[in-house]
Amino acid sequence: MSSLDKEKFDSSFSAIRDTFGGDQQKNITTKQTIKESEVADFLKLREEMIAAQKNTFDAIRSFITEHALGDNIKATFDNGIITLRLPDEVLFAPGSEQLTPQGEKALSQLRDLFLKNREQSINIKGYTDNSSVSEGARFHNNWELSALRAVNVLRKLLQGGIEATRMTATGLGDLDPLAPNDTPENRAQNRRVEFTLERKVTNPLQ
């Protein structure tokens, strides 16, 4: 092929390629670059969120210490999620879904903590051990007991000024035990209410 013929061939091929989507690869590359940029932005935002949550967690631990609540409230932090755990005996009488005066006082202290951290969503989770419910109880099983307890906690916080839009209540019964239900001590660990606090991050990929 002569040099002139090759130039004509290359010119014709380029024209055909452009006509039938020759820019498609460029478009794909551009979209991939945008997508990667969005992912990087989201990951950076999430890292900042986790760092902010860690600061909130440290402040919560200080609050617990200052108010001498360490015997009643255990706080943990994992991947940006703060969990506050209370034994059921702090909030309820055995086998009951009704808050005790001690429980109302504990929730009043938690309310003050939640009001200071309005950016946090609050998922209230009720748990039981695997013991059967008492005869004549107003609920039929452990799941129902745990759900009623979670709802009563939510209702008390709502009365205390925590926004309804921040809170959810979940009853999990004897699911997800902290320890095997084989001793009184272990069963006591499993009977609890947990508050899961999360700071929301908008995902730009959605």
Quickly list DSSP for 87-116.
Answer: EHHHHB-TT--SBPHHHHHHHHHHHHHHHT
Contact 103, 126 (CB under 8 A): no
**CA 131, CA 191: separation in Å to the nearest integer?**
10
- Torsion angle of the four alpha carbons 55, 57, 59, 65, in this order, in degrees rounded to the nearest 10: -150
The whole-number pLDDT of residue 60 equals 96
The whole-number pLDDT of residue 28 equals 64
The whole-number pLDDT of residue 38 equals 73
Strands 81-87 and 120-127: unpaired
The whole-number pLDDT of residue 7 equals 58
Contact 166, 122 (CB under 8 A): yes
Q: Which amino acid is at 6?
A: K
Domains of the chain: 7-199 (3.30.1330.60)
Host H or E run for residue 34: helix 24-66
The whole-number pLDDT of residue 99 equals 98
The whole-number pLDDT of residue 3 equals 55
Name which of 76, 68, 73 is nearest 89 in CA terms. Answer: 73
Going by C-beta distance under 8 Å and a sequence separation of 6 or more, which residues neighbour residue 115?
161, 162
Q: Mind listing the pLDDT tens digit of every residue in the chain (206 residues)?
A: 555 555 555 565 566 556 556 566 666 666 666 677 777 877 888 899 999 999 999 999 999 999 999 999 999 999 999 999 999 999 999 989 999 999 999 999 999 999 999 999 999 999 999 998 877 778 889 999 999 999 999 999 999 999 999 999 999 999 999 999 999 999 999 999 999 999 876 555 55
